[in-house]
Structure formats: C-alpha cells, structure tokens
Amino acid sequence: GGLECRTSISVSRGELHRAPGGDWSAMAVVPSSQAYERRDDDEESTEGKLYFKFSETRVPCVVRKVLEENGWREWDPERHPESLWSLHWKSGRFKLSDWDRCLPHQRINHCPKTSNITKKDNLHRNMKRLAGSYGAVYNFVPTTYVLPNEYVNFMREYAEQSEPQIWICKPSDSSRGRGIFLIRDMSELIYDQQYIIQRYIKDPLLIGGFKFDLRLYVLVPTFQPMRAYMYEEGLVRFATEKYTCDHSTDLSNVYSHLTNSSINKYSPSLNENKATIGPGCKWPLSRLVRYFESMNMDAATIMQRIKNIIVLTLLALWPKVPAQESGFELLGFDVMLDSQLDPWLIEVNASPALATDTTLDLQVKAPLLADTLKVLGMRPQPVEEKKRGRKPLSHSSGATAPATNRRQSPSTDRPLSNTSSSSSRSTPGSAPPRSSSSSTASSASTVRAPHASGRAAAHPKGGAPAHAGVSPSSSP
C-alpha cells in the first residue's frame, strides 16, 4: 500500500574551512575563464599519489583548484599509464565501456541511466509513472506535457481551463535558461525541437517582492545500494525585477519570471540594493533559513519536505541504474516554494554549474567539492593493481544485487557518518527518530515514505536532518 525507503542521516557542513594548501575563507574569486597553470610532477615515484583525469577542456576551474589544494596531481596521457588516475571528471556523459574499464580504485563522476531524471522529458515520464502507481505522494512536479508527443493531451487540458493560464515552455535537453518562454495563448506556442510545456507556478513564495528558487546539491556515491547526501549549504537564486502575475504582466520579462543566475547576471538592476535581498541575485541557503526563522516560519519542516521529494525522485533511478561501483553523481536539484510553502521540483541537473563568478559561488562550491572528495574516500592505485586488470562489469537494464563493496568507508575529520538504522521507522507527520551515536555530531534514522493520501502527505513534518542517505528496501 505504500512506498518505503530507508534513510540514514549524515552531516557534512558547508562552512568555510582550512584545506591543505590554502584557506578558502581568504581565497580571491577565480573567474571561470581563468586557466590554472598545470603543475608538473617531480621526477620522484608516482606510488601513493592521487591523480585526476580531465578529458575535456570545459571542466570548471574550481574543480582543478580544489583537487590540487588537496594534494592531487593531474594525469598526463603522454607520461602516465591509464591505470594511474583515481578520478575521471567531465561535464559530458561517459560511454558504458568507460565504466567497464575502471579499476577498483578508479571513480568517474557520472553513472549510466541517470538521464532518467536529469533530462526534463524523462523526469516528467518517470514522475508520471510513479504517480500512477503510488498516487499523490508524487504530486510535487507541476503538470507537464512533452511536445510534440503529448500535444493532443495538452490541447485537451488547455481547452478545459476555465480562465487563461500561464504555461512555461522549455527545451527538453537544455540548461541555463536557454530557449525558455512563457505563453497564455496557443498562438504564442512556437517550437522547432522537443519541448516540455509546464503549468506555471503563478503564486510563488516571494522575498521582498522577488521570485526565487533553490539550488541544492545532492551526492550519490552509489546506487546499488543507494546512498545519497544533501549538502547543508546551497544557493538561493533570485529574479532581479519584482514579480507580478496579472493580465497585464509582460511574460517576456525574463528578469522578473526566471531565476536562472546565467540570465539575471545580465540584468540592469543586478547590483542595485533591492528590497530585502540586497545587491546581486544569490543568497547562501543558510541565509534563507535564518530569514525563515526571523519571520517565524518553520524552517526545519520546510527543509524536511524538500528532502522528502529529493528522496522520492532518486527512487525513480534505483531500479534503472545498473550495478557498478565506479560511478557517482553530484546532482543539482532545483526546487521552488509556493505561497503555501509547498516545495515543487523544477528539474534535476546532471552537471550543476560550478562556475565561480562571485565570492559566494566560491564560498559554497569549493567546500562542496572538498567534502565530495572526503565522502567518496578515494585512494591511489594500489601497487598490486599495476600488474593485473579487472573483469568488465555487467550492465543490465534492471537492478541487480550489489557487488561486495570493495571500498573502505571514508575516514574524515568532519562528521560524515552514513550509518543507517533499520529497526525504527517514523510515521507520516512525525519527526524522524534520532540515534544516540557517540561519534561526531551526526544522527541516523529510518524514514518511511508517506502513503498516497494527498499532496500534503508527501511532506511529513519534523526536524530537518543535514544529509539523507537512501537505501531502498525494495524496488518502487
């Protein structure tokens, strides 16, 4: 009758900290276009050293900077064997053969089949499928149609609306706000590629009269079994002109209706001291939480509701991602709150932007990447692996039993416990139980997803844990 998932809670803080080789709190902003000077290896042995591999030129500069600050060196195809690198990072997708060739110590920053939620059309299809099976617990995505495939269904919905509604149109495989436009009338609907058309959230929660959404970072180090961590810090992205939504509203004003930073950084009012939000178009998530608390809003419950929809979205991937131990995903979830404080999932990004155009970007993204390395617990090439290879992995389309975990749990100097408890479950509307673990300031609990009894049921109230690790007991 219900969908169950085990959720273990872990903590990884987003504040600035001193990393080997540098102090993030004192670092200057690094422009995205700035190239870092590559550091050549000494003539000494490569044994025991960590190497990273970049196979494309568009890898964000902050990724290289964080790796080098943490003692990593860049793999050189002309000087080093393929088996030497431990991390392969790129923004694009990998081929299945890339996972097959990975040795036990090697990790790559994507997993097969995750496009089932990172492409807008696939996200819609999977959420629709799960909503058909489990009901209103999956009612956290606005009404969506894929064009042209679902054009007839959209026209039926359009014809039945009692008054003109606003719809937002987006290319199904695009990012950074490119190609997005809003319509009220069918005569305005023009497209030359596959689009999704989505009911516009016309009553968003506003701060100072400005629309905003949340960019939340979720690390999934393994899908079989599934574990996921939501980073405590994130970004709040604001539109830069005040929001209105009446019959006279100019739907072409992207600075009022869209929150993408890649768009609003060109706004004429970007650096103005705007009401409540100040200059710029971004806040850290921690500032938003403080704002909620200052307005006597239940920030813990709001964040817990957001974590619930992240867990439910990730469960769409669990039966689809094949069992493999080399890939991981750092995902960017975009969530918007409406005036009733209900969270809505807008989209999921496979390669969330890691550009460091502002000081705030660097303050959030550099520690995020440093903590990602700690959670993954990567290691250099063992001496014995230099003389042997590894059998290819089997990539079946469905879920298979997980292989024996060949990686040691990461040991860190920051609280990153991922211990799960299967003996207790919280019920809808109650706070998740806390464990009494004596190691670090972390908590562990098991969360049972609410039964499909309406939209509100998808958001059990309770304290907001810092990170959520998911371990589903069965396929959805």
CA atoms within a 13 Å half-sphere pointing along the CA-CB vector of 40: 4
Predicted confidence band at 56 (pLDDT cuts at 50, 70, 90)?
confident
Encoded tokens for 62: 């902050």
pLDDT mean over 151-171? 91
Predicted confidence at residue 96, as pLDDT, reads: 84
CA atoms within a 13 Å half-sphere pointing along the CA-CB vector of 84: 19
- Specify the long-range contacts of residues 53-57, CB closer than 8 Å, at least 24 apart: 53/85, 53/87, 53/88, 53/89, 54/89, 54/90, 55/88, 55/90, 56/90, 56/91, 56/92
At position 190, the amino acid (one-letter code) is I
What does DSSP say about strands 22-23 and 51-54: parallel, antiparallel, or unpaired? unpaired
Angstrom distances, CA of residue 458 to CA of 25, 343, 474 = 38, 10, 19
Residue 170: closest CA among 130, 121, 216, 129: 121
DSSP per-residue codes, 445-462: --BPPPPSS-GGGGS--S
Q: CA 120, CA 348: separation in Å to the nearest integer?
A: 8
By CB neighbour count within 10 A (0-12 exposed, 13-18 middle, 19+ buried), where does 473 fall?
Answer: exposed
| DSSP, res 188 | G
Q: Is 182 helix (H, G, I), strand (E, B) or coil?
A: strand
pLDDT mean over 161-184? 85
Query: Is the per-residue pLDDT at 144 higher than 50?
Result: yes
β-partners of residue 229 are: 219
H or E stretch covering 108? strand 107-108
Encoded tokens for 97: 């053969």
How many CB atoms are closer than 10 A to CB 293? 12
Is residue 206 within 8 Å of residue 314, measured between CB atoms? Answer: no
Predicted confidence at residue 463, as pLDDT, reads: 39
Query: Is the per-residue pLDDT at 326 higher than 50?
Result: yes
pLDDT in tens, 387-414: 554 444 444 444 433 343 444 444 333 3
pLDDT in tens, 430-462: 333 433 333 333 333 333 333 333 444 344 333
* Strand residues in 26-127 grouped as ranges (E): 51-54, 73-74, 87-89, 107-108
At position 260, the amino acid (one-letter code) is N
Predicted confidence at residue 432, as pLDDT, reads: 39
Predicted confidence at residue 386, as pLDDT, reads: 54
Q: Does the CA dihedral 363-365-369-371 come out positive or negative?
A: positive
Q: CA 167, CA 164: separation in Å to the nearest integer?
A: 10
Q: Which residue has the tokens 């219900």?
A: 2
| DSSP, res 29 | P
Mean pLDDT over the full length of the chain: 77
Q: Spell out the residues 6+ positions from residue 461 whose beta carbon is closer than 8 angstroms to its own.
A: 298, 301, 304, 429, 430, 431
Which region among 29-38, 91-100, 384-393 has the lowest average model confidence (pLDDT)? 29-38
Predicted confidence at residue 10, as pLDDT, reads: 36
Q: CA 62, CA 355: separation in Å to the nearest integer?
A: 7
pLDDT in tens, 219-251: 999 998 899 999 999 999 999 999 988 777 888
Residue 226: closest CA among 113, 132, 392, 124: 113
Predicted confidence band at 42 (pLDDT cuts at 50, 70, 90)?
very low
Query: Is the per-residue pLDDT at 262 higher than 60?
Result: yes
Predicted confidence at residue 46, as pLDDT, reads: 75
Predicted confidence at residue 41, as pLDDT, reads: 47
Q: CA 179, CA 177: separation in Å to the nearest integer?
A: 6
Predicted confidence band at 384 (pLDDT cuts at 50, 70, 90)?
low
Q: CA 33, CA 27: separation in Å to the nearest integer?
A: 17
Predicted confidence at residue 318, as pLDDT, reads: 85
Predicted confidence band at 57 (pLDDT cuts at 50, 70, 90)?
confident
At position 384, the amino acid (one-letter code) is E
Is residue 452 within 8 Å of residue 18, measured between CB atoms? Answer: no
Query: Is the per-residue pLDDT at 292 higher than 60?
Result: yes
What distance separates the 2 farthest-apart alpha carbons in the chain? 74
Query: Is the per-residue pLDDT at 124 higher than 50?
Result: yes
Q: CA 8, CA 221: separation in Å to the nearest integer?
A: 14
Task: Calculate the CA 447 to chain-centre distance.
Answer: 20
Does residue 148 have a cis bond before it (omega within 30 degrees)? yes
Q: CA 212, CA 239: separation in Å to the nearest integer?
A: 6
